[in-house]
Amino acid sequence: MQIDEQLNSKLKKIKAVLTDVDGVLTDSTMNFFVTPQGQTVEVKKFSAYDGIAFHLLRDAGFITGIITGGNAPATEWRFRSLGVDFLYYNFLSKLTPLQDFMERTGLKAEEIIFVGDDLIDMQALNIVGVPCATQNACTEVKSSAVYITQKAGGKGAFREVAELVLKAQGLWPQMLKNAQEGKIGHSAKKKLQVIDYKTWNPAYKNVF
């Protein structure tokens, strides 16, 4: 995969990788079933390749985060198990959580990648240093991106972006060495910080 000098220069500044969930870490399909107790539960289908990508980024010292308009318990369980740093729930506008993330971490917009696929991601994509869109993203989102993945959401698109950053910063050989030594994912996991929009806005209504 050939990367031009301008994008490569931007990738070298990255310290955090943030992403949407539905349509990026999944294929955008939303599956629901009703338990014997009458509770409706949403089931998420995640890619194992993307899971390893979160481990690789953590091992390399990057901050990772999720910004989603959804609130499925499976999402929190998945990213807590992967050692992700931040999870923003119920945020249809991605601008507010992005600004909060920068305040909490002290990072600048140019030091952040965001991966999105749909219209509600555009605010974040227009601010971050490296806006990325998945292959299945809508036309407007692709127009806001400096990189469009070859993989579709739920099929390793996030892994593709992670490798892009790691290779641009010369960290890929160390990741391969870690793999050969069985050390992928052995770095210390931080406690997942969960920020829920419901606590920000008393008038919150779940549109999903």
d(CA 88, CA 70): 9
Angle between helices 157-168 and 172-180 (to 10 degrees): 110
What is the pLDDT confidence band of residue 143, given thresholds at 50, 70 and 90? very high
pLDDT at 45 over 90: no
pLDDT at site 203: 60
Say what percent of the chain tops pLDDT 70. Answer: 88
Residue-by-residue DSSP string for 27-92 = -S--EEEE-TTS-EEEE----HHHHHHHHHHHHTT-EEEEE-S---HHHHHHHHHTT-SEEEES-S
pLDDT at site 82: 95
d(CA 65, CA 74): 16
* Domain extents in the chain: 5-197
pLDDT at site 190: 85
Q: Name residue 187's amino acid.
A: S
Answer whether CATH 3.90.550.10 is correct for domain 5-197.
Answer: no
Block residue for tokens 């991605």? 94
